Amino acid sequence: MKIIPLKEGTFWASKKKEFTLIDTNFDQPVEPGSLKMAVCPFLIELPDDLVLIDTGLGWKENGKSVLISLIEAAGYQPEQITKVLLSHLHKDHTDGLGFFTEEGYKTYFPKATVFLQQREMTYALSQENSYSFDQQTLNAIKDLPNLEYMNADKGTIGSYITYEVTGGHSPYHQVFWIREDENIAFFGGDNLPQESYLKYHIAYKTDFEGKKAMELRQIWEQEARAEGWKLLLYHDLEKPIVEL
């Protein structure tokens, strides 16, 4: 198993979920209540798959997707990716999946099957007044020909991936384990986005079910220590991969 963090950048996220790239060369005004976070999808090479977990903001530099540039810099092409796993549908996890043209929406990963929970999509499409969702992108994603809707609360994807719908951060948020031989990688999405979430047992108000997410983190921490998991941290400012 080869794990490659694909960090789009570090951002200020405002209360209206507007993201501003942090430029370390000068001071930037910060809107009150903004949160500082990294955005970091993960590319995982397995014996029979090349897997992308969540797809970032879709941030661009000089007109090109930063995510695609990072994939290419790692020695891969987007056409090689065989599976895209989406933990949930907040726009900082989905907007890097594709782009709009005059002909319509196109995915960057035409040969990949995109896995997401159907109940999460139904919920997301109902949240028309929420800043967390990009309704234009969601309406495009829901009709993709390479989309596979998931309805079970837990199960397997391919030979090495298991998933579970946990709720917590969003109603049908799902997490993933990737197991190859003795190696276990765990992606908790926004239920476990930063290492600091393990240090402070807090039920965050930004979560749909904050108490549930907090309780799950404590369970995962125990299991991670016992089994030697690699924790993949989507929003951590410094360490995208942590072993406890």
Give the number of C-alpha atoms closer than 13 A to the C-alpha of residue 122, restricted to the C-beta side: 8
Contacts of 221 (CB under 8 A, 6+ apart): 198, 244
Q: How far apart are CA 104 and CA 25, in angstroms?
A: 37
In this predicted structure, what is the pLDDT of residue 127?
96
User: How many domains are contained in the chain?
Assistant: 1
Model-wide pTM > 0.75: yes
In order of 34, 59, 65, 69, 211, the CA distances from 62 in angstroms are 26, 10, 9, 11, 42
For the segment 83-112, what is each residue's pLDDT rounded down to a tens digit? 999 999 999 999 999 999 998 999 999 999
Using pLDDT thresholds of 50, 70 and 90, give the confidence band for residue 25.
low
Helix (H, G, I), strand (E, B) or coil at 33: coil
Each residue's pLDDT tens digit, 182-219: 999 999 999 999 999 999 889 998 899 999 999 999 99
pLDDT bucket at 31, cuts 50 / 70 / 90? confident
* CATH code of residue 230: 3.60.15.10
For residues 48 and 135, give the distance between their C-alpha atoms in angstroms, rounded to a whole number.
34
Bridge pairing between strands 83-85 and 113-117: parallel
Task: Please tell me the predicted confidence (pLDDT) of residue 32.
Answer: 81
pLDDT beyond 90 at 67: yes
Cβ atoms of 67 and 40 within 8 Å: the answer is no
Domain that holds residue 64: 2-243
Checking DSSP bridges between strand 104-107 and strand 98-101, what pairing results, if any? antiparallel
pLDDT of residue 168: 96
pLDDT in tens, 35-65: 899 999 999 999 999 999 999 999 999 999 9
